[in-house]
Amino acid sequence: MRLSSYFMPTLKENPIEAQIVSHRLMLRAGLIYQTASGIYAWLPLGLRVLKKIIKIVREEQNRAGAQELLMPTIQLADLWKESGRYNDYGKELLRISDRHNREMLFGPTNEEMITAIFRDSVKSFRELPKILYHIQWKFRDELRPRFGVMRGREFLMKDGYSFDIDSLSSKRSYNRMFVAYMKTFTRMGLKAIPTRADSGPIGGDLSYEFHILAENGDDTLFVHRDLIESNWKNRDVDYDSDLQFIIDEFVNKCAVTEEKYDLTKMTNDIIKVHGIEVGHIFNFGTKYSKAMNAKVTGSNGKLVELEMGSYGIGVSRLVGALIEAFHDDAGIVWPESVAPFRLGIINLKKNDSCCSAVCEKLYNDLGDDVLYDDRDERVGVKLTDMDLIGLPWSIIVGPRSIVNDRVELKNRKTGEYQELSIEAIMKRFAT
Amino acid sequence: MRLSSYFMPTLKENPIEAQIVSHRLMLRAGLIYQTASGIYAWLPLGLRVLKKIIKIVREEQNRAGAQELLMPTIQLADLWKESGRYNDYGKELLRISDRHNREMLFGPTNEEMITAIFRDSVKSFRELPKILYHIQWKFRDELRPRFGVMRGREFLMKDGYSFDIDSLSSKRSYNRMFVAYMKTFTRMGLKAIPTRADSGPIGGDLSYEFHILAENGDDTLFVHRDLIESNWKNRDVDYDSDLQFIIDEFVNKCAVTEEKYDLTKMTNDIIKVHGIEVGHIFNFGTKYSKAMNAKVTGSNGKLVELEMGSYGIGVSRLVGALIEAFHDDAGIVWPESVAPFRLGIINLKKNDSCCSAVCEKLYNDLGDDVLYDDRDERVGVKLTDMDLIGLPWSIIVGPRSIVNDRVELKNRKTGEYQELSIEAIMKRFAT
């Protein structure tokens, strides 16, 4: 993409309404635009990040055996009356009447709808187990939306649901998602810490929250050093095997939030850290299948209530959480896997035909994931903007080094510059 | 994907509520599930088609120079009061009150929101022209939703908006979209016919509808034979050039709906055909920029109202339209570019170790876009289901031919079978 024609409205000043760094940087770098309280449009640069996150979430869900579908945003209130949640949910539920005065709502989650779909479609234990997920916009009418996309009203969530014949099988589905979540967040460059959680109003007794570490995270966690140091990056997982041994690695060394912190159950080497919740998994047994009469025929021919779990990832929230985890005074510092572009090119002197020719060549040859700053702007503005939007690498093409066929490569994270030949650059970044 | 574990709830009977063939087949083949009147969940098989359509739409938009962003579904009523449409729009607009009794709505289209975003972000003619688009769920509270996804209430639309400094430049943006639409529908295997349209309540005087040909299409069109026979498939387009000559190809030979059919303006060789509307482009000048005070500084330093256009494609509607265009008595006949899987594998004898071994090998080697019917079902059921879901090709592996290392390849469209060696199959379908 050529920056001269790209729709990337950056701000020079810090927007006063933004209280936290990720919100500030998302507005300043032109990732989002606020259209109403707690509701945002994703501008092209922000949408690119969102899509890279979606891709990773999707790939890891599929790898773990989950299947993608897509449920609508608007739901019938009747479904929520079946489960009993229509009255329980309170004012965060956006209630809607259609032109025939039918009660509807903008879904904040989809347990009821997926249970209804499953109940009507699957009749026998032979079709189990199944994990179904979707990635869809949700609405939660927060009393005081704040922190940008971290606590917005319209937000993008990946929510998955498992259906099993018995609790043993259901625990295996739950374990798959546990492991898939660790892999998902790790691929985004994040350090994820699973903490045992209250299952809350959703019911059931098996629940984990996933926090990612960030210095200014809202939540305080106590984490064993082993977990901080463990490396999930290249961990191979056979999802068809029993994954319980992996979950067991977290027991008691596992992090817990302050109120539940029980030192006696933990070994030494506990570190106090801060985190942001980005995922939540529940195994809630037959809560919804019982209320909504969702049964299949078991192997003995008798009807059995489905054992279910639900698994959420805050997809749009992750964009904010990533920035909270990865930024410095100059702007965002994207990990490579989720950067809006993997590479920037800065033309220091646009009216130098040699600089421009090299930039054009690099831009044309290095693929689609490149942002080329071809604007007629001062050098300082270009370098500052590139730091602000935080691409992992930028190639700086200036008249001094270009006479020797060399350019500079800047590492956004370390701030280091390296002079390299054009050939070496091509080799390194060729797709 | 292995069909034995795939969530694809097909129906044996024709659902009585479905009046048209695409609706019937979408329910029967397990593409969609109705969750409320005019609201559907996209089951895994249907979602795959939707995604392939999205991919084509997105690629052709990007190629034409449009940039993708993503606006939210929920909008402030205030925006629509600025343009004057809040009162005009009537009961199809789903009006919503949030917990603070603020008036909101579920967007049926986004002219107001994109104008507001643009007005706040772009200040100078130097940043023009721009075409921005998004692919987002919309809601239109139809009085009588029907025909499945063809006239649903919650639907997926690609809507794009162009911003230019003057009407000449605006016409060039409009022409780009015209050509991009022809290429988009052609890539889906469809024959697209652009017809001049009333610009309706959206305003302005330059407008085309795009119909695709389908025997039972709602609309009657009169089309010159040249247009029916013209081939857009391999047509190269330079979007930076003046595209008017392409648009001129359609003038007067162009199809028109019955009420406007004016024989005198047309040459001979007119054919009467049926079509389904899947796209609509408008150039509406300063209608919204004037009402919403969206101006930029022109080259003379004075403020100028933006010249705008809007460009819609009914993305979810296209799934239905494609089936209306491509089906037979046995089911759907997908064009290759939008088929949910490009290839099926049918194992005729699951307990034959040789058949199963060959199927496994083909399935593992031929990539992700393959559906393997590994179910323990009768041969008739497998063949019938494969015809119903309409994959372009299926490889049929049976005990008789496998002894000679051969399998059958079925072409869904022609119904022709061909016996081929496994090696030839691998070569043909290797990704």
DSSP B105-135: EE-S--HHHHHHHHHHH--BGGG--EEEEEE
8-state DSSP, B260: G
Which of residues B300, B331, B362 is at a domain's end?
B331
What is the rounded CA–CA span in Å between residue B298 and residue A132?
A: 53
- Sign (positive or negative) of CA dihedral A55, A60, A61, A67: positive
Bigger pLDDT: B98 vs A254: B98
Is B10 part of any domain? yes
Backbone Cα Rg of chain B: 24
Is A336 part of any domain? no
Residue B101 pLDDT more than 80? yes
What is the rounded CA–CA span in Å between residue B407 and residue B418?
A: 8
Helix (H) or strand (E) holding A117: helix A111-121
Same domain, A394 and A257: no
B211 and B277 Cβ atoms separated by less than 8 Å: yes
Same domain, A358 and A296: no
For residue A370, the tally of other CB atoms under 10 A from its CB is: 23
- Sign (positive or negative) of CA dihedral A37, A41, A45, A49: positive
| Facing B35 at nearest CB: one of A41, A47, A75 | A75
Is B218 part of any domain? yes
Q: Kindly state the tokens that stand for A285.
A: 């047994």
What is the rounded CA–CA span in Å between residue B44 and residue A69?
A: 5
Bigger pLDDT: A347 vs B201: A347
Residue B131 pLDDT more than 80? yes
Same domain, B267 and B360: no
Q: Kindly state the tokens that stand for A275.
A: 């985190």
Residue B204 pLDDT more than 70? no
Give the domain range for residue A371.
341-429
Residues 6+ away with beta carbon under 8 Å from B302: none
Same domain, A180 and A326: yes
Chain B residues inside the 8 Å CB shell of A74: 36, 39, 94, 106, 139, 153-154
CB contact under 8 A, A74 and B116: no
- Residue A222 has a pLDDT of 86
Residue A204 pLDDT more than 80? no
Is B336 part of any domain? no
Nearest residue of chain A to residue B8 (CA atoms): A121
What is the rounded CA–CA span in Å between residue A100 and residue A185?
A: 44
Residue A16 pLDDT more than 90? no
Does the beta carbon of B64 lie under 8 angstroms from any beta carbon of chain A? no
Cα end-to-end distance, chain A, whole Å: 16
Residue B114 pLDDT more than 70? yes
Over residues B383-400, the mean pLDDT reads: 96
| Per-residue pLDDT tens digits for A291-325 | 999 999 999 999 999 999 999 999 999 999 999 99
Residue A219 pLDDT more than 90? no
Count: domains in chain A = 2
Same domain, B294 and B416: no
What is the rounded CA–CA span in Å between residue A20 and residue A24?
A: 6
Residue A259's pLDDT band, with cuts at 50, 70 and 90, is low
Chain B residues inside the 8 Å CB shell of A40: 72
- Residue B200 has a pLDDT of 59
What is the rounded CA–CA span in Å between residue A405 and residue B206?
A: 51
| Per-residue pLDDT tens digits for A372-417 | 999 999 999 999 999 999 999 999 999 998 989 999 999 999 999 9
Does the beta carbon of B36 lie under 8 angstroms from any beta carbon of chain A? yes
Cα A276 to the center of its chain, rounded Å = 12
Residue A45's pLDDT band, with cuts at 50, 70 and 90, is very high
Bigger pLDDT: B116 vs B197: B116
Residue A264 pLDDT more than 80? no
Which of residues A331, A361, A392 is at a domain's end?
A331
- Residue A195 has a pLDDT of 85
A254 three-state secondary structure: coil
Q: Kindly state the tokens that stand for B259.
A: 């009420």
| Per-residue pLDDT tens digits for B216-239 | 888 888 888 888 888 887 888 999
| Facing B7 at nearest CB: one of A74, A130, A154 | A130
How many residues would you count in chain A? 431
Is A197 part of any domain? yes
CA distance A266 to chain B (A): 41
Bigger pLDDT: B195 vs A108: A108
CATH number of the domain where residue B180 is located: 3.30.930.10
Same domain, B275 and B409: no
CB contact under 8 A, B40 and A72: yes
Is A214 part of any domain? yes
CB contact under 8 A, A33 and B153: no
Q: What are phi and psi of B107, to 5 degrees?
A: -60, 125
Same domain, B52 and B141: yes
Nearest residue of chain B to residue A36 (CA atoms): B76
CATH number of the domain where residue B405 is located: 3.40.50.800
CB contact under 8 A, A44 and B106: no
Give the CA angle between residues A54, B38, B35 to the nearest 5°: 65
Does the beta carbon of B98 lie under 8 angstroms from any beta carbon of chain A? yes
Whose tokens are 């609706």? That residue is: B23
Residues 6+ away with beta carbon under 8 Å from B390: B29, B326, B327, B331, B332, B333, B334, B339, B412
Which of left, alpha, beta for B196 (phi over 0: left; psi -120 to 50: alpha)?
A: beta
Helix (H) or strand (E) holding B225: helix B225-229
Q: Which of residues 142-201 of A touch B (CB under 8 A)?
A: 143, 153-154
Mean model confidence pLDDT for chain B: 93
CB contact under 8 A, A67 and B50: no
What is the rounded CA–CA span in Å between residue B179 and residue A331?
A: 40
Output the CA–CA distances (angstroms, integers) from residue B112 to A31, A137, B138, B371, in the order listed: 20, 21, 14, 43
Is A239 part of any domain? yes
Is B206 part of any domain? yes
Same domain, B315 and B406: no
Q: Which of A247-251, B15-19, B153-157 has the lowest mean pLDDT?
A: A247-251
Same domain, B22 and B170: yes
Same domain, A288 and A415: no
- Residue A266 has a pLDDT of 57
Same domain, A171 and A203: yes
Which contacts qualify for B394-398: CB closer than 8 Å, 24 or more apart?
Answer: B394/B343, B394/B344, B394/B345, B394/B346, B395/B343, B395/B344, B395/B345, B395/B346, B395/B362, B395/B425, B396/B346, B396/B348, B397/B345, B397/B346, B397/B347, B397/B348, B397/B355, B397/B358, B397/B359, B397/B362, B398/B348, B398/B349, B398/B355
CB contact under 8 A, B35 and A113: yes
Same domain, B375 and B266: no
Output the CA–CA distances (angstroms, integers) from residue B214 to B77, B271, B339, in the order listed: 38, 14, 18
Residue B175 pLDDT more than 90? yes
* E strand spans, B18-112: 32-36, 39-42, 67-68, 74-76, 94-97, 103-106
Whose tokens are 């002079």? That residue is: A419
Q: What are phi and psi of B262, to 5 degrees?
A: -125, 95
- Residue B72 has a pLDDT of 98
Residue B255 pLDDT more than 90? no
When mean pLDDT is compared over A64-68, A229-233, A403-407, the highest value belongs to A64-68
A45 and A10 Cβ atoms separated by less than 8 Å: no
Over residues A210-215, the mean pLDDT reads: 92
CB contact under 8 A, B137 and A72: yes
CB contact under 8 A, B5 and A130: yes
8-state DSSP, B205: S
Chain B residues inside the 8 Å CB shell of A96: 94, 96, 106
CB contact under 8 A, A96 and B94: yes
- Residue A123 has a pLDDT of 96
What is the rounded CA–CA span in Å between residue A242 and residue A244?
A: 6
Does the beta carbon of A364 lie under 8 angstroms from any beta carbon of chain B? no
Which of residues A331, A356, A380 is at a domain's end?
A331
CB contact under 8 A, A35 and B113: yes
- Residue B326 has a pLDDT of 98
Q: Kindly state the tokens that stand for A415.
A: 């701030």
Strand partners, A273: A221
- Indicate the residue type of A244: Q
Nearest residue of chain B to residue A138 (CA atoms): B73
Q: What percent of chain B has pLDDT over 70?
A: 94
